[in-house]
Amino acid sequence: MPFTSLKLHPSLQRSIKELGFPRPTPVQAEAIPPAMAGRDVLACAQTGSGKTAAFLLPILQRLLDKPRGRTRALVLAPTRELAAQILEEFNAFATHTPITGAAIYGGVGMGPQEHALRTGVDVLIATPGRLMDHMRAPYGKLAHLEYLVLDEADRMLDMGFLPEIRRILRQLPPRRQTLFFSATMPSEIANLAKEMLREPVTIQKQRQATPAAGITQAIYPVAQDLKSSLLVHLLSRGDIQQALVFTRTKHRADRLTRFLDRAGVKAERIHGNRSQAQRTAALAGFKDGRFPVLVATDIAARGIDVEALGHVVNFDVPAVPDDYIHRVGRTGRAEAIGDAFTFVSRDEETDLRAIERAIGRPLPRITVPDFDYAARPEAALEVPHAQRIAEIRARKREERARAAIKAARHAAAVRRPGQPVPHTVSPAHGEDRRPGPGRSHRRPHGGRRRGPHSS
């Protein structure tokens, strides 16, 4: 189903196109039409399902219908990181519309947030505690609210926000549309949903328990330091033509991409340090076949929908079995046959066994006949943290020793009999230790920036 069939406003369709989203995710396909029609929605959806767009797009659509000037939509989220991330996605969707948004959370000044409330910003994205602080003031009453979203409701309850949520609800206009999203649905959440929603459309989008049939899964035992060479080998043999390759860290994603580049394999990467524009370009290049390899960290890759993707390569074993199932689920969709290869070094065997338990069977181990498993290891993709610290300490020790010798020589050269020993000059002398204006600068709140926890 293409996005066009959702009949979203042309300015929203334009942003979606620019973001490179090919089609709605399942939760979007199910939630957007009833939400656009004004129905309440109760959705069981995890991070990575595309849930944010599932509530932002219908709200934007409805806000575009009528005149503006008052806060009409409120999204409640459990953490400031999530609120910042939702605002970022909101800004991306709202680029070609006049609709405005702001985030309200603790740990930053109240002033700009008060200003946003006073000027009637269209959409507020808030954590419950800080919002309550504002709602006590006359300017924070939200008397014209029409749309309410609870995002990650289960997490909000886990974090003890239920009393605040109830207090906020009591103050909001009772006639409103509510969209309720939660990854899990324990009875406490179900009860809260029942209280808050009127004849909701219910959507269940739990993660599937095992990867889809049609996926060939295989394990490639290999030394940690030979993983990059093995990937190049499998690509050059034609065992893999196109692959989404997952690494554990951003750093490893960068290093692996460089390694592939040196080996003549065109690759791009997406992770949290890459801008949305870079990610979109990388994804587009991968989809139209310009790069056979897309290297990604797990979080950045969530929501990627690459149709009939041939291969997923777990360059590192996912630490959580669920992540394995989720990643592997990207291949073999729509009855396509896909392969999921997992590179396992000796120290990752325990994590692998947990995955095998979760999927209920052992996975076949493959040894590649013409790969040199005894080859001299390539340069390690990352120096272990402890080793890095030890190296820095050793270097500093050497520098100090050298400086001491130099100082002693200098002292011996300049000292004349009967003269006092000169003072050593502190390296801090002459340095301006005060923070410069740039360093004390605080980022304006509510702007288009990534949340601090981004992957």
Contacting positions for ligand AMP (CB under 6 A): 21, 24-25, 28, 47-53, 302-303, 305
Closer by beta carbon to ligand AMP, 277 or else 401: 277
Q: Report the 3 state secondary structure along the chain.
A: CCHHHHCCCHHHHHHHHHHCCCCCCHHHHHHHHHHHCCCCEEEEECCCCCHHHHHHHHHHHHHHHCCCCCCCEEEECCCHHHHHHHHHHHHHHHCCCCCCEEEECCCCCCHHHHHHHHCCCCEEEECHHHHHHHHCCHHHCCCCCCEEEECCHHHHHHCCCHHHHHHHHHHCCCCCEEEEEECCCCHHHHHHHHHHCCCCEEEEECCCCCCCCCEEEEEEECCHHHHHHHHHHHHHHCCCCCEEEEECCHHHHHHHHHHHHHCCCCEEEECCCCCHHHHHHHHHHHHCCCCCEEEEEHHHHCCCCCCCECEEEECCCCCCHHHHHHHHCCECHHHCCEEEEEEECHHHHHHHHHHHHHHCCCCCECCCCCCCCCCCCCCCCCCCHHHHHHHHHHHHHHHHHHHHHHHHHHHHHHCCCCCCCCCCCCCCCCCCCCCCHHHHCCCCCCCCCCCCCCC
Closer by beta carbon to ligand AMP, 48 or else 129: 48
Least distance to ligand AMP, CB of residue 311, Å: 19
Least distance to ligand AMP, CB of residue 17, Å: 11
Residue number closest to ligand AMP, CB atom: 303
Closer by beta carbon to ligand AMP, 133 or else 305: 305
Q: Spell out the residues 6+ positions from residue 86 whose beta carbon is closer than 8 angstroms to its own.
A: 52, 56, 75, 77, 103, 125, 151
Least distance to ligand AMP, CB of residue 277, Å: 13
Closer by beta carbon to ligand AMP, 95 or else 345: 95
Closer by beta carbon to ligand AMP, 92 or else 169: 92
Least distance to ligand AMP, CB of residue 247, Å: 18
Closer by beta carbon to ligand AMP, 50 or else 332: 50
Q: Exposure of 280 by Cβ count < 10 A (0-12 exposed, 13-18 middle, 19+ buried)? A: middle
- Tokens 């649905």 correspond to 185
Least distance to ligand AMP, CB of residue 46, Å: 7
Taking the C-alpha atoms of residue 194 and residue 102, their distance in angstroms, rounded to an integer, is 29
Closer by beta carbon to ligand AMP, 51 or else 72: 51
Q: Spell out the residues 6+ positions from residue 315 whose beta carbon is closer than 8 angstroms to its own.
A: 227, 231, 245, 246, 247, 248, 252, 256, 295, 343
Closer by beta carbon to ligand AMP, 224 or else 242: 242
Least distance to ligand AMP, CB of residue 56, Å: 9
Least distance to ligand AMP, CB of residue 379, Å: 32
Least distance to ligand AMP, CB of residue 53, Å: 4
- Tokens 């394999």 correspond to 265
Least distance to ligand AMP, CB of residue 98, Å: 22
Least distance to ligand AMP, CB of residue 426, Å: 49
Closer by beta carbon to ligand AMP, 255 or else 326: 326
Least distance to ligand AMP, CB of residue 90, Å: 11
Closer by beta carbon to ligand AMP, 117 or else 304: 304
Closer by beta carbon to ligand AMP, 25 or else 97: 25
